[in-house]
Amino acid sequence: MPKIIFTSRYIKNPASSNAGKLIKYMGTREGVEKLPNGIDNSPATKTQNDLICIALKTVPEAWDYPEMKSYLENKTKVNATEFLNEFLERNADRIDGVKKLVNYYAERPGVEKLGNHGLFSQTDNKINLDEVADEVSSHNGIVWTHVISLKREDAERLGYNNANAWKSLVRRNVLEIAKAHKIEPSDLQWFGAFHNTTHHPHIHLLVYSKSGQGYLTNNGIESMRSSFGNDIFRNEQYKLFEMQTEIRDELKNEAKNVIDDLFSNIDSDVYVSDKMVELFRKLDEQLKSYNGRLMYGYLPKSIKETVNNIVAEIAKDKNLEYLYLKWNEINREKLSLYYDKERPDIPLEDNKEFRSIKNYILKSISLLSKATPTMEIDKSSVEQSVSGIVFTLAKLIANSCKRKRAKLFGQVDSKLKSKLEEKKVAHGLKTDRTVNQNEIENDEEQGFTMSM
């Protein structure tokens, strides 16, 4: 499962009474009571099983909860309790009435109270719970509700086992929250509460625009997930202890060894298939009847398809293929922080991070066409162009690998890093006292010099 669980929904109108009654009922019945005498592995009760059936019918995506998988493997009281608790936490926004939602956030058992209740916001001014509940329940716009959760062991290790840590986290990321919701920072209002539950300590975050504006897209949700994940794990050399030894050591030295070696092995005389030659000729013919701007983003669909096919054919180069395999390994490590299911590798021709190579291909075709205006492009010309394209693409991938590797292992403050060094010594691992900060660049920074 991911290191951070991020669930988002919105409230436009009060939730249906059925869902509200279900959650209120679940919140007061045996199914969510903490078992006082340790772990109860006796079979789940009929009441628990009935509630689980209702929960799954009401929210089908609950089938994918890790707690449901545990329950299906072993239908005990404790596993039923864990699932029902998790269902309640993730679906708190479906409680009857928005006003009750605010009270739930602030007063539910397990919330860490900061005074008389557990609500906090952007400032440390005293929060009147009743006034906030009235304000939110009478709001004319959309109210977004988010649940951000960690595994207990991660929360303990990283210090996110108290309300103040979560409050500081949200405040550090408030500009990203506003941007994701398309709300001006001055117009943003938010409230949070920390629930220190047994297995998944989490925060409930309620967000809205004072003026009723704003909207949240899937990209906005992913942006927030990424921001919170990067912040929470920024000082954690987490993967060194979880990766297989070979991959771990390889990644650790990737920037100076593996990537550089692969890059240096890119042949100056790459193999060019007959299909590649035909694709170059086809693109040349297509561009002769095209009068627009010679950039990939401006091309019609048919020409884009030819360019994509050229990239796919170039990606078959054995050294380039292995280099891109390394890029995907590092990228999977990064994505595993945020996503429950492993994301499939992106084909090179569909990877937006290397989209600039497509403009390089267009430039190459243009230069070839000008050099032989009355002749068909021959194989030797294609070989020369492809060599330059492969070399440039390899450089892009190698630099991206270095950036991603630096982001995974480089952002560690000196105090925590010393502790991690001690841990590694205790585990018999090699230590690395320095981090090349020059490698830490923004993932979105792209570019290369075109020279032919």
Residue written as tokens 């929470």? 232
pLDDT tens digits, one per residue of 233-290: 875 544 434 443 444 445 444 434 545 555 555 455 566 778 888 888 899 889 888 8
So what's the pLDDT on residue 49? Answer: 86
Residue-level pLDDT at 352: 87
Show the tokens assigned to 389. 């394209």
pLDDT digits (tens, 9 = 90+) for 351-375: 888 888 888 888 888 887 776 665 6
Domain 4-233 = CATH 1.10.3470: no
For 78, other C-beta atoms within 10 Å of its C-beta total 17
Task: Read off the pLDDT of each residue in 314-323 and give the average, rounded to a whole number.
Answer: 82
58-97 pLDDT tens trace: 788 889 888 888 889 888 888 887 888 778 777 765 654 4
Q: How confident is the model at residue 195 (pLDDT cuts 50, 70, 90)?
A: confident
**Confidence at 169, pLDDT banded by 50, 70, 90:** very high
SS (H, E, C) 345-402: CCCHHHCHHHCHHHHHHHHHHHHHHHHCCCCCCCHHHHHHHHHHHHHHHHHHHHHHHH
Q: Is 60 exceeded by the pLDDT of residue 22? A: no
Q: State how beta strands 4-11 and 143-150 pair.
A: antiparallel
**Mean pLDDT value of segment 381-394:** 76
Tell me which DSSP letter residue 200 carries: -
What pLDDT is stored for residue 421 in this prediction? 57
C-alpha closest to that of 255 among 143, 149, 407: 407
Q: Above 80 in pLDDT, residue 100?
A: no
Distance separating alpha carbons of residues 4 and 160, to the nearest angstrom: 12
N residues, the chain: 452
pLDDT at residue 200, as a whole number: 82
* Domain ranges in the chain with CATH number 3.30.930: 4-233
Mean pLDDT of the chain: 71
pLDDT at 181: 94
CB half-sphere exposure, 314, CA atoms < 13 A: 32
Other beta carbons within 10 angstroms of residue 264's beta carbon come to: 10
DSSP state of 59: -
Give the residue-averaged pLDDT of 161-187: 92
Joined together, the tokens standing for residue 6 give 């991020």
With beta carbons less than 8 A apart as the criterion, state whether 187 and 213 touch: yes
In three-state secondary structure terms, 163 is: helix
Residue 176 confidence class, pLDDT cut points 50, 70, 90: very high
Does residue 304 carry a pLDDT above 90? yes
Residue 191 phi/psi, 5-degree rounding, is: -140, 145
Q: Which helix (H) or strand (E) holds 68?
A: helix 66-73
SS3 assignment for 69-122:
HHHHHCCEHHHHHHHHHHHHHHCHHHCCCHHHHHHHHHHCCCECCCCCCCCECC
Q: Percent of the chain at pLDDT above 70?
A: 65
Most confident of 41-45, 209-213, 239-243: 209-213
What tens digit of pLDDT does each residue of 110-134 get? 555 555 667 788 888 887 777 777 7
pLDDT: which is higher, 331 or 379: 331
Between vectors from CA 325 to CA 245 and to CA 343, what angle results, nearest 5°?
Answer: 85
The pLDDT of residue 117: 64
- pLDDT score for 115: 57
Whole-model pTM? 0.46
Highest mean pLDDT among 2-16, 27-41, 166-180, 239-253: 166-180
Q: How far is CA 117 from the centre of its chain?
A: 32
